[in-house]
Amino acid sequence: MADEPTHEPSASDITFAEYYHPARPRSLRHRPRVRSAIRRHSVSQDGPADGANPGYVSWLVNQSMLGHADELARQFSGQGSMWQNSFANPSPRQAVETASVWFTAYPISLITAPGTSFLGALGDEGLWEAFEKIGIEAVHTGPVKRAGGITGWQPTPSVDGHFDRISNEIDPAFGTEDEFRRMCATATWYGGTVIDDIVPGHTGKGADFRLAELGHSHYPGIYHMIEIEERDWADLPDVPPGRDSVNLDAVTEEILEKRGYIVGRLQRVIFYREGVKETNWSVTGPVTGVDGVTRRWVYLHYFKDGQPSINWLDPTFAGVRMVIGDALHSLADLGSGALRLDANGFLGVEKSAEGAPGWSEGHPTSEAANHIIASMVRKVGGFTFQELNLTIDDIRVTSEAGADLSYDFVNRPAYHHALATADTEFLRLTLRTSLELGVDPASLVHALQNHDELTYELVHWTAGHADDLFSFRGEEITGGELADTIRRDLVDHVADVPYNLIFTTNGIACTTATVIAATLGVADLDSLSAADVDRIRRAHLLLVMFNAFQPGVFALSGWDLCGMLTLPPSEVSELLSSGDTRWISRAAHDLMGADPSATQSSSGMPRGRSLYGTLPEQLEDETSFVRQMQAILAVRKRSGVATARQVDIPDGSHRGMLVLVHEADARYLVTVLNFSDEDVDGTVRSEHLPPGSTVTDLFSDETVTTVDELNSFRVELWPFRATAFVVQPPPVEESADSTDA
């Protein structure tokens, strides 16, 4: 009998798809490659919660991420499986080929059927059937592992939406490890991929941090934490009752810097709030360690005080071991195919020259750390993406050896600005700048709304190129002035309504639907008419086209799929009390109509207002947002634009017009978008379009015109509409000499 045909690897390197889904079989094939080493046994919670109680210390070690990581890593050492995959170089197009359309979930905001967990809902076959119909190929779960902190013997809640991880265990609020594995199996059956999270920048104040405070073993090496000599305690602020730390003011920060304890002030204070977070450093109260010595520690936290930063260059490499262990657990035990790297741009810090801020952003240690993480993930057959809100230069450098894909923080505020002002000039500038600086759009995750605010820090212009000159609105202005102008425009057009709120100095808390509503002049969401909803849907689909018809990944959330509005601040007043206004944009939503009577998610997030309805309802309606997006994604897949090469962002003949030119398979894909609320009769012109080329509408497959001698063709667009064409160059005529030959 002839041998059965087998799947042969690529002639070059084995791809992620070949490794993780050989020949993409429709079978529930995931089996853990390692035995989970999370220690399930408990220690009796007896006695005081301090370093003098061995039972307490042992209990903390049982809970710790570092302890789990060390046990898990030993199962990989010495195994041939660690050498079967290429890992040194990022492979963005291979990652895009694995999954080019993502659904980004947010665990605490998904409404599920009664008795069904978040992970149970994400593993539901009905949901994946809907995703397959729509064209969604991957699910990013968001953070689902235990987060928050530990005070004494008791857990404390998350301070940042579960991005303050304290354990490798799945949080029971979201499901179980078995449900995670079943979700991965269901995704595999439908040809999909599950993307999990790791947080290499910080943890919460869990067992690892408490053991660090106690001076136990290698645990202090996990963090940027410095023991302050008792003789200098007089200069430290007192910790109020009920707190375990207090933020340093700028004066104390400078004193400790001059005494050689810390690097001092950094390039910026993220989440700055007077009297709450004025610096990136906090100090603990007195803590008696396992050795009987009482210490006070100052520790670094780029974000909130409950998120102590991880030290990637401590001699123990304890932080490195902990993060890598978390990654291996998600990939090899739980079954995810990729990981998001959260807060991975802040992995190095160094003292600068006298009077200058400490060097923290764009630090080489961050580049090295990202290379290590991403290489390890590739080594075990996965890929990574990063949310790196730094300069375009930093994105280019990290993409050379780090994560396979980067979140598109550069163009997102720009396309919102284009919509708000009906002018694409700044959007054209961001797109061109990215190309000029060597950032391939195919290496980016082009997203609509995620769990965060509409970021308008515009770091490339405010930090890296603040003094460089840029041409904008007919004059030369500095990068800093340009950023100020764009932020002012966004505030005037998007935040000057009661339903969108400013979030510190970072951006605006809103949903995609409420960005559009504000730009359309809607003053009150309660007064939305059917015509308003139709206009919002049309503008929303325009943003889908912009993001989907670029090389790279297109990502959207449940808030986008359902057309969610922001929550009234009164419904989340307790969550807003800390100054974090982003909670208004995280309304609970019911994708599948699992529980129509629910007023909140199982995590307690209030149910928001949906403009578009559930996925089953929309899939039955040809005019719905989802059905129209389905058509867009089908054409996107057929055209090959996701892995094409962006070659030109030409000027448009109308201020609201944007033209994108991509090259794929010896032909050109041209996307034309109208960001204005008026009809456009314009001209597409690019030197890349050969005269005589045929222009075919990608949606109707009709040949509509021919490229003229000026490398151009005419196009008409209604308000907030977009279309795409394939431009096929004419055949090359053979010369007379070649014919004679």
Of 639, 657, 675, the position where a domain reaches its end is 639
Which residues, 6+ apart, have CB-to-CB distance to 606 below 8 Å?
A: 567, 571, 572, 587, 588, 599, 600
- Tokens found for residue 558: 């449940």
Of 237, 271, 300, the position where a domain reaches its end is 300
Which residues, 6+ apart, have CB-to-CB distance to 695 below 8 Å?
A: 670, 703, 704, 705, 706, 707, 713, 725, 726, 727
Secondary structure (3-state) at 269: coil
Regarding whether 630 and 653 lie in a shared domain, the answer is: no
Regarding whether 523 and 430 lie in a shared domain, the answer is: yes
Regarding whether 570 and 446 lie in a shared domain, the answer is: yes
In 613-735, alpha helices (H):
615-619, 625-639
- Which CATH number goes with the domain that contains 722? 2.60.40.1180
Regarding whether 544 and 429 lie in a shared domain, the answer is: yes
pLDDT score at 401: 85
Range scoring the smallest mean pLDDT among 266-270, 305-309, 671-675, 720-724: 266-270
- Mean pLDDT calculated for residue range 673-696: 97
Domains of the chain: total: 3
Regarding whether 416 and 436 lie in a shared domain, the answer is: yes
User: What is the spatial distance between Cα 543 and Cα 419, in angstroms, rounded to a whole number?
Assistant: 9
Residue 233 lies in a domain: yes
pLDDT band at 578 (very low <50, low <70, confident <90, very high): confident
Residue 1 lies in a domain: no
Residue 431 lies in a domain: yes
* pLDDT higher than 50, residue 22: no
Regarding whether 653 and 623 lie in a shared domain, the answer is: no
- Interval 181-203: pLDDT, tens: 999 999 999 999 999 999 999 99
**Between residues 539 and 27, the one the model is more confident about:** 539
pLDDT band at 734 (very low <50, low <70, confident <90, very high): low
Q: Which of 611, 561, 498, 626 lies closest to 109, judged by CA?
A: 561
Q: Which of 214, 211, 199 lies closest to 142, judged by CA?
A: 199
Regarding whether 595 and 458 lie in a shared domain, the answer is: yes
- Interval 285-297: pLDDT, tens: 999 999 999 999 9
pLDDT score at 42: 55
pLDDT score at 354: 82
Secondary structure (3-state) at 310: strand
* pLDDT higher than 60, residue 564: yes
Q: Which residue segment(s) compose the domain that 528 sits in?
A: 408-639
* pLDDT higher than 80, residue 3: no
- Contact criterion met (CB below 8 Å) for 608 and 517: no
* pLDDT higher than 90, residue 24: no
Sign of the C-alpha dihedral computed for residues 177, 178, 179 and 184 taken in this order: positive
Estimate the crossing angle of helix 125-134 against helix 177-189, to 10 degrees: 40
User: What is the spatial distance between Cα 377 and Cα 339, in angstroms, rounded to a whole number?
Assistant: 8
Regarding whether 607 and 578 lie in a shared domain, the answer is: yes
pLDDT score at 32: 62
Task: Give the position of tokens 């910790």.
Answer: 239
Phi-psi region of 450 (alpha: psi -120 to 50; beta: other; left: phi over 0): beta
Residue 282 lies in a domain: yes
Regarding whether 615 and 680 lie in a shared domain, the answer is: no
Q: Report strand pairing: 722-728 vs 667-674.
A: antiparallel
Residue 343 lies in a domain: no
pLDDT band at 394 (very low <50, low <70, confident <90, very high): confident
pLDDT band at 45 (very low <50, low <70, confident <90, very high): confident
User: What is the spatial distance between Cα 513 and Cα 522, in angstroms, rounded to a whole number?
Assistant: 11
pLDDT score at 146: 97
* pLDDT higher than 70, residue 315: yes
**Between residues 738 and 706, the one the model is more confident about:** 706
Sign of the C-alpha dihedral computed for residues 171, 175, 177 and 183 taken in this order: negative
Task: Return phi, psi of residue 512, to 5°.
Answer: -60, -40
* pTM confidence score: 0.90
User: What is the spatial distance between Cα 522 and Cα 520, in angstroms, rounded to a whole number?
Assistant: 6
Whole-angstrom Cα Rg for the chain: 26
Q: Which of 174, 195, 24, 17 lies closest to 102, judged by CA?
A: 195
Secondary structure (3-state) at 658: strand
Range of 83-92, 141-150, 347-356 with top mean pLDDT: 141-150
Of 639, 663, 691, the position where a domain reaches its end is 639
Task: Give the position of tokens 């300069």.
Answer: 391
- Mean pLDDT calculated for residue range 75-95: 88
Task: Return phi, psi of residue 455, to 5°.
Answer: -70, 125
**Between residues 158 and 735, the one the model is more confident about:** 158
Q: Return the ∠ at Cα 427 (arms to 422 and 429), rounded to 5°.
A: 130
- Contact criterion met (CB below 8 Å) for 345 and 455: no
* pLDDT higher than 70, residue 37: no
In 100-249, alpha helices (H):
118-122, 125-134, 177-189, 207-213
Regarding whether 570 and 501 lie in a shared domain, the answer is: yes
Regarding whether 285 and 236 lie in a shared domain, the answer is: yes
- Interval 100-117: pLDDT, tens: 999 999 999 999 999 999
Per DSSP, what are the bridge partners of residue 697?
725
pLDDT score at 36: 59
pLDDT score at 79: 83
User: What is the spatial distance between Cα 532 and Cα 516, in angstroms, rounded to a whole number?
Assistant: 10
- Contact criterion met (CB below 8 Å) for 392 and 460: yes
- Interval 453-492: pLDDT, tens: 999 999 999 988 999 999 999 999 999 999 999 999 999 9
Per DSSP, what are the bridge partners of residue 508?
454, 502
Regarding whether 656 and 550 lie in a shared domain, the answer is: no
> CB-based burial of residue 584 (10 Å sphere; 0-12 exposed, 13-18 middle, 19+ buried)?
buried
Residue 266 lies in a domain: yes
pLDDT score at 85: 87
- Interval 398-449: pLDDT, tens: 888 899 999 999 999 999 999 999 999 999 999 999 999 999 999 999 999 9
Residue 172 lies in a domain: no
pLDDT score at 161: 84
Residue 564 lies in a domain: yes
- Mean pLDDT calculated for residue range 504-524: 96
